[in-house]
Amino acid sequence: MVKINPDTLVFGIIGYPLSHSLSPIMHNKAFEYKGINAIYLYFPCKKIEGVVSGMKSLSIKGLSVTIPHKEKICEYLDEIEPIAEKIKAVNTLVNKGDLIVGYNTDAYGAIRALKDKTKELKEKKALIIGAGGAARAIAFALKEEKAYIIIANRTKHRGETLAKEIDAEFLPFSDIKKSEPDIIIQTTPVGMYPEVDKVPVFSEEIFRKRPLVMDIVYNPLETKFLKMAKKKGCEVIPGVEMFVYQGARQFEIWTGAEAPIQFMKDTVISFLKGEIR
């Protein structure tokens, strides 16, 4: 437990509901590890109208933003970094005195997790499963990397809309086996605890060319989708990688200090295994 004094910097997370967020344990442990006088709190919040002025008047240094506010909060910010502006969603707020600035570290986290396994994303064929907020961030980030993107989504209209926006190909789930991707990124909540036996697509043919497969679901640590991919000989990236990298980037934006990435990863994994509380 941090010793609180007048210099303690205050950070936190806004969203609703917040009970499942792992950001508080990850950031508080990281502050403690690095000896930074800071605390990270839960701010369950249904209405966001007062968030920006509240941050300024209470000197809250930074906030994570999660479901359902990542898009709506953009209307209230003083500045938004360019990639977040394109994505039209932010997951990180920084209090720069007179200005509250929004960032999207999900995009950064996804690319960094992928680049640990494949140095070059340029011209790689990337199949993104899903077309929601997380898919959007990853799709725009991959576009910046000049990957060739295919969006597959259950709801045609939503998938087509995102595909059009980033000049990508759209595939309905029924045609997904036609794709021969180098990389697959699973962005839907399917397979998340407690529904750990579910997968978003059933065709194992998508693993034919042994693509690199990333799932953004991090609880369980290895989803059924990743297990299927592994069985077919694919290299896999569990969701905890992207989660930790997006958090590490937040940590660095907020504190200016290097994030203890391995320590943050160990913390999240230990927590998910029930080894720490």
Q: How many whole angstroms separate alpha carbon 180 and alpha carbon 71? A: 32
Nearer of residues 38 and 162 to ligand ATR, judged by Cβ: 162
Catalytic residue among 70, 86, 143, 265: 70
10, 240 Cβ separation under 8 angstroms: no
Residue (of 168, 103, 180) closest to 142 by Cα position:
168
Residue nearest to ligand ATR (CB): 132
Residue (of 103, 151, 105, 147) closest to 128 by Cα position:
151
Q: Could you tell me the sign of the dihedral formed by the alpha carbons of 67, 72, 76, 82, in that order?
A: positive
Least Å distance between CB 173 and ligand ATR? 7
Q: How many whole angstroms separate alpha carbon 252 and alpha carbon 260? A: 10
Residue (of 225, 226, 219, 167) closest to 194 by Cα position:
219
Least Å distance between CB 167 and ligand ATR? 19
CA torsion angle 169 171 176 181 (round to 10): 10
Nearer of residues 60 and 199 to ligand ATR, judged by Cβ: 199
Q: Report, in angstroms and rounded to the nearest whole number, the Rg of the chain calculated over CA atoms.
A: 19
Least Å distance between CB 259 and ligand ATR? 23
Residues that bind ligand ATR in the complex, under the rule CB under 6 A: 130-135, 153-155, 158, 187-190, 200
Nearer of residues 173 and 263 to ligand ATR, judged by Cβ: 173
Query: Which distant-in-sequence residues (6+ apart) come within 8 Å of 253 by Cβ?
Result: 62, 92, 94, 103, 105
Least Å distance between CB 163 and ligand ATR? 12
Least Å distance between CB 217 and ligand ATR? 10
Q: How many whole angstroms separate alpha carbon 181 and alpha carbon 152? A: 12
Nearer of residues 65 and 259 to ligand ATR, judged by Cβ: 65
Least Å distance between CB 72 and ligand ATR? 12
Does 70 participate in catalysis according to the annotation? yes
Could you give the angle at which helices 23-34 and 239-255 cross, rounded to 10 degrees? Answer: 50
Residues marked as catalytic: 70
